[in-house]
Amino acid sequence: MNVKLESSWLELLADQFEQPYFKKIKDFLLKEKAEKKVIYPPGHKIFAALDLCPVSNTKVVIIGQDPYHNPGQAHGLSFSVPENIQPPPSLLNIFKELESDLGIPTPKHGNLEKWAKQGVLLLNASLTVRANSPTSHSDIGWQQFTDTIIARLSQKKKNLVFLLWGSYAIKKKNLITKTNEHLILEAPHPSPLSAYRGFFGCRHFSQTNTFLRSKNIPEIDWNP
């Protein structure tokens, strides 16, 4: 199966593209398209999180659940939106914590590509969604693919930081191998429904940079 993807990820995941579950994903998306369903993000952005953050560059992993399902929001990076789109509430809460933790003023946009290019893998568990229908593609096979990414990345590399926000992301902790070689930080989801239960004040951004510095790895400039 021909998949266009950044070369280091193509190598790490090469065996996955011929698996029955991946054929199921492709067939499902083709069927949705034939039925004139609108799918987010656009096709060329489905693997944007991987394309912008090669394996060798990856330092931090932030796990989301599902792409945004409203028009124009999803562009392949968890929590991120393109520059001309109003940042959703969870992203605004991430920016509030960033300001509290590191003194970085809330930006005027919600595009986190700068994070990705520095080595922050902004990975959603599902890489597509039907318009206006949250979690509509959560059972088509994407989770097997993204679970493989988490497991293999944690096995291949050391000194990664995993930021697990919310119960869904925290459940992914059992996929992380060599846990003694990585930093795993957990907090409630930044959603307005849960941010006040411990996401605010978690100081994950400063903790990440402290850990990276301790391993002589360049820290992240969290200013989007």
Mind telling me the catalytic residues? Answer: 66
Question: Which of helix, strand or coil describes residue 26?
Answer: helix
What DSSP designation does 34 have?
Answer: H
Do 144 and 21 form a contact (C-beta atoms < 8 A)?
yes
State how far the Cα of 222 lies from the Cα of 19, in Å rounded to an integer. 37
What DSSP designation does 96 have?
Answer: H
Single-letter residue type at 41:
P
State how far the Cα of 52 lies from the Cα of 210, in Å rounded to an integer. 24
Which H or E element spans position 47?
A: none
